Amino acid sequence: MLPQFETNAAFIWAIVIIGITVPALLGIYAGLKARMAKRRLERLQASETR
């Protein structure tokens, strides 16, 4: 159950959403970049050994 705030609930929830979304997006960015770089390297290594 979500907490109930007496005042400024909209402001608090906006800050919480940003506080979760920004690190999550950064995590997705880092993960995707690593995955793409690794796949590219594997593809190049495979084509080199062929």
In the complex, least distance from residue 39 CB atom to another protein, rounded to whole angstroms: 9
**What's the half-sphere exposure (Cβ side, CA atoms, 13 Å) at 24?**
6
> Measured between alpha carbons, how far apart are the two ends of the chain, in Å?
57
Residues of this chain that interact with another protein (CB under 8 A) are 3, 5-9, 11-12, 14-16, 18-20, 22-23, 25-27, 29-31, 33-34, 36-38, 40-41, 44-45, 47-48
Contacts of 5 (CB under 8 A, 6+ apart): 12
In the complex, least distance from residue 35 CB atom to another protein, rounded to whole angstroms: 8
In the complex, least distance from residue 1 CB atom to another protein, rounded to whole angstroms: 9
